[in-house]
């Protein structure tokens, strides 16, 4: 690559994840935001007029002035980050891929296409090979998992590799920003817990099987990990907390498990990718940790915090996992995938 940064476009730039992309990419060493796209309702407007900016950082002036484009595959940027609503993402992302774009998506629609990788860069970077035999033609689609899946599967991976996993039970307490902007009405969420998030339990039960699976030719052999999930929406702005119980295949002491978490790292750390957390999993000793308000921003929101490891009377062990849903669980995770693809040469022919 020349010394220029890679131009990228954000599809769904006005939403919860779209805004997080803008905030995180502000000073990225490799990528620069060239185009912003959203629905017809926003297209043609200046970004600052169309968006209700809810990030804690100031919106960059040059981006505030950018005119929002339609999500049609006539953009100049060949790499597009999708934060599109799932009701439209399936078709629009396929249109972009067919037209020769690299789409890295947060939406659920293509996650289970046989030839589309579902990537957590520390866990299954080798699954990117699937793009070499994709059906879309000139372009490709790569997907980022569900926000709760990412925290869970990161915490499970070192246990899966070292001790094997027989079964998992998980109960989530998910932040409001996970439902997009404006999300659940304040009258529904203040002073309340909502014990239902549409489609979420199925995603958490199914996605880890693909992520922990192994690549065989042009498809993934799923891992037969057995997971039961219950999901709740709680009055936290950012950060999904998950109470996990796990039954292992081999015996492990508490120390063995904490060491497995503390020693875990993957391809992003080896390649020293700009968004790679130095410690992807951080075990916290405090008996009241992890907590979203205190720990969601560890390693710039890219680390997964784990705590309260103890023996379980029903399973072998139980513990608590916390991860930032719009950073590690969405925009930051997607940027890390893009960095991995760049470092491994998957973007070369599109630049």
Rank residues 165 and 335 by Cβ distance to ligand NAP and give the closer one. Answer: 335
**CA nearest 151: which of 287, 349, 326, 335?**
326
Let me know if 147 is a catalytic residue: yes
H or E element at residue 292: helix 292-295
Query: Which 83-102 residues touch ligand NAP, going by CB under 6 A?
Result: 83-86, 88-89
Residue nearest to ligand NAP (CB): 15
What is the C-alpha to C-alpha distance for residues 255 and 250, in angstroms, rounded to an integer? Answer: 14
Q: Counting contacts by CB under 6 A, is residue 151 touching ligand NAP?
A: no
Angle between helices 147-163 and 254-262 (to 10 degrees): 120
Query: Toward ligand NAP, which CB reaches closer, 42 or 172?
Result: 42
Nearer to ligand NAP, 18 or 151 (CB): 18
CB 54 within 8 A of CB 65: no
Which residues in 15-74 contact ligand NAP (CB under 6 A)?
15-18, 38-39, 41-42, 71
Q: Which of these, 136, 142, 82, lies nearest to 106 by C-alpha position?
A: 82
- Expressed in percent and rounded to 5, the helix, strand and coil fractions of the chain are 35, 25, 40
Rule CB under 6 A: is residue 249 a binding residue for ligand NAP? Answer: no
32: three-class secondary structure by DSSP: strand
Task: Select which of 110, 127, 240, 279 is catalytic.
Answer: 240
- Shortest distance, position 95 Cβ to ligand NAP, whole Å: 11
| 325 sits near ligand NAP (criterion: CB under 6 A) | yes
Residues designated catalytic = 147, 240
Residues in the site for ligand NAP, rule: CB under 6 A? 12-18, 38-39, 41-42, 71, 83-86, 88-89, 106-107, 147, 177-178, 180-181, 325-326, 329-330
């Amino acid at each position: 690559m020349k010394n220029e940064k890679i131009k990228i476009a954000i599809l769904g730039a006005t939403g919860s994840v779209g805004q997080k992309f803008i905030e995180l990419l502000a000073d990225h060493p490799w990528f620069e935001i060239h185009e912003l796209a959203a629905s017809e309702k926003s297209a043609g407007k200046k970004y600052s007029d169309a968006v209700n900016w809810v990030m804690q950082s100031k919106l960059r002036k040059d981006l505030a002035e950018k005119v929002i484009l339609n999500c049609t595959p006539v953009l100049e940027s060949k790499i597009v980050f999708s934060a599109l609503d799932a009701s439209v993402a399936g078709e629009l992302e396929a249109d972009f891929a067919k037209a020769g774009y690299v789409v890295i998506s947060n939406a659920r629609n293509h996650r289970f296409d046989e030839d589309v990788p579902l990537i957590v860069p520390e866990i299954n970077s080798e699954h990117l090979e699937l793009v070499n035999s994709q059906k879309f033609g000139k372009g490709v689609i790569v997907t980022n998992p569900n926000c709760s899946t990412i925290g869970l599967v990161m915490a499970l991976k070192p246990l899966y590799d070292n001790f094997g996993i027989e079964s998992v039970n998980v109960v989530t307490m998910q932040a409001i920003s996970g439902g997009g902007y404006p999300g659940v009405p304040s009258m529904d969420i203040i002073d309340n817990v909502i014990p239902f998030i549409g489609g979420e339990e199925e995603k958490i039960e199914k996605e880890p099987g693909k992520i922990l699976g192994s690549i065989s030719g042009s498809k993934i052999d799923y891992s037969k990990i057995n997971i039961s999930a219950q999901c709740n929406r709680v009055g936290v702005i950012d950060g999904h907390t998950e109470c996990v119980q796990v039954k292992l295949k081999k015996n492990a002491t508490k120390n063995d498990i904490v060491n497995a978490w503390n020693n875990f790292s993957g391809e992003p750390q080896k390649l020293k990718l700009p968004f790679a957390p130095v410690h992807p999993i951080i075990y916290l000793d405090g008996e009241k940790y992890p907590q979203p308000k205190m720990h969601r921003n560890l390693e710039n929101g890219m680390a997964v915090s784990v705590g309260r490891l103890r023996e379980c009377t029903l399973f072998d062990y139980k513990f608590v996992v916390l991860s930032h849903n719009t950073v590690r669980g969405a925009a930051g995770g997607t940027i890390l995938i893009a960095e991995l693809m760049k470092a491994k040469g998957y973007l070369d022919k599109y630049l």
